[in-house]
Amino acid sequence: MLASLYPVTTETPLRLSSATRELAARYLDGEFKDTVVQADFKLPAEASAGLSDDMRYALTVKLIAEKAPLRILPEEKLVGAATLLEAAEHQTPASDFSSTSHVTIGFNTVLQCGYLGLRQRLEQRLADSSLTPHQQDFLQSMVLCLDAARCWHDRHAAELERRIAVSTGVVRQHYRTVHRNMLAVPENPPQSFREAVQSLWLMFSFQRLCGNWSGLGRLDQMLGSYLERDLQNGTITLDEARELLAHFWIKGTEWRDIRKCYGGDAQNYQNVILGGIEREAMK
């Protein structure tokens, strides 16, 4: 009697679309490892002669932003890819700098104020006449890194605009949607869950392109308010949000089969906090 009322099934419900599942399989099969290539550019010695290490690094980051190959797949809902092989080997491409890992950088700060807000803080700090030459140089190198991030972003925007112009139908609409969701971020604070996820991915992907393996931090704290608001106002469904986050995690496996020794910083998987107790709950 109970069995007829509550039939038992062993089938696992599929909560992601077949297209997203197929994309995940392609990434996990290592299909895109050959698009991660050795940098064929380097900062000329004469361009960095006499400069501090901070400024030489910033100029290298700018060169990476200008020269690194772009990878935009028509099946993906997000743009941004770490396409330089040295980065996967924990080196800053096109340089003699080692890279940084085992840290979690302040993604949430940029979500709140955008790169524009960081730039304004740096400009205010640079206006301080009491700064030493070393301090000025360090801050100016940070501004240059922000310029580099904007350059990398703008290259993606331009490529999407080119594809929109030569596409039709569903493909054109897809590129328009991706372009719309990435155009204002991370330069500005995101205004929707879609923008927030894209902003976070662009930040994460660019620092990884430069060889740095940051942790992600508390995704629930960073993205939760955007999702809650968009669910309430009906601009996104839970299924749509799930698909978007799936693409975020799928893109995180882009270095699959490149390195012999895998870690949790940037290769086949990510160390991430999935739950815990808030400080207020512990009082």
Give per-residue pLDDT as tens, 207-256: 999 999 888 888 989 999 999 999 999 999 999 999 999 999 999 988 88
* Mean pLDDT, residues 105-113: 95
Of 174, 247, 204, which Cα lies nearest the Cα of 26? 247
Burial of 175 (0-12, 13-18, 19+ CB in 10 A): buried
Tell me the two tokens of residue 277: 């107790």
Residue 80, SS3 per DSSP: coil
* Mean pLDDT, residues 112-130: 98
Give the pLDDT band (50/70/90) at residue 89.
confident
Give the pLDDT band (50/70/90) at residue 268.
low
* Mean pLDDT, residues 155-173: 98
Percent of the chain at pLDDT exceeding 90: 72
